[in-house]
Amino acid sequence: MLRGLRKLQGQILCRMASSDRIPSADLQRGHVFLHKGVYCEVRSARAAGHGRSATGGFEIRFRELQTRKAREMKLKENDRVDVINCDRVSMPVLYKDEKWLVLADADYNEVAVSRAQLGDAAEMLQSGEVVSVMYHDDNIVKVVPPPHIADAVRDAYRKQRRAQLAARRKSEEAADDEP
């Protein structure tokens, strides 16, 4: 599909996002695709199978963007996937409540986004901060927090994961020491 301009009530609103149908072998980390009507982002793609059993399949690890659930699937090499090319718009945060994050578009209309789309970053966002919103055909695909918040969330996760692994290592060492 070609990118074009959408016209509504005499005003040019935004460019329309496009999609491409590519073979599963060409999927890369960061690609956004449609899977059973749900927008997903590729976390990793690798060849599936070992040795002679490697028949040209690929194991795709992805995250459903609406719910942030991690998923996996296997695709044949010649399977085709709809990769979405999203339009990105920056929007300031107006306010947030228990379930919603309310943003302002270019005309200062309120745009409500589920806090589940941001995960742990929603807690750190304050009013006035600017987030990037990725659109496809008037659907919000993904909300990207500012870099300093994304870095803080990543660092907190890594610290928590290191603590979990250290605790597991200690419990395994204690179990090995007992006769």
Task: Return the residue matching tokens 């990037």.
Answer: 132
For the chain, domain boundaries:
13-85, 87-179
**pLDDT tens-digit readout, 131-159:** 999 988 888 899 999 999 989 999 999 99
Distance in angstroms (rounded) separating the CA atoms of residues 158 and 101:
26
User: What is the phi/psi pair of residue 131, to 5°?
Assistant: -115, 160
Q: CB of 87 within 8 A of CB of 3?
A: no
**pLDDT tens-digit readout, 71-128:** 999 888 888 888 999 899 999 999 998 899 999 988 888 999 988 888 888 899 999 9
Predicted TM-score of the model (pTM)? 0.71
- For domain 87-179, the CATH architecture is Beta Barrel (2.40)
Q: Comparing C-alpha atoms, which of 128, 98, 131 is closest to residue 116?
A: 98
- For domain 13-85, the CATH architecture is Roll (2.30)
Distance in angstroms (rounded) separating the CA atoms of residues 120 and 128:
18
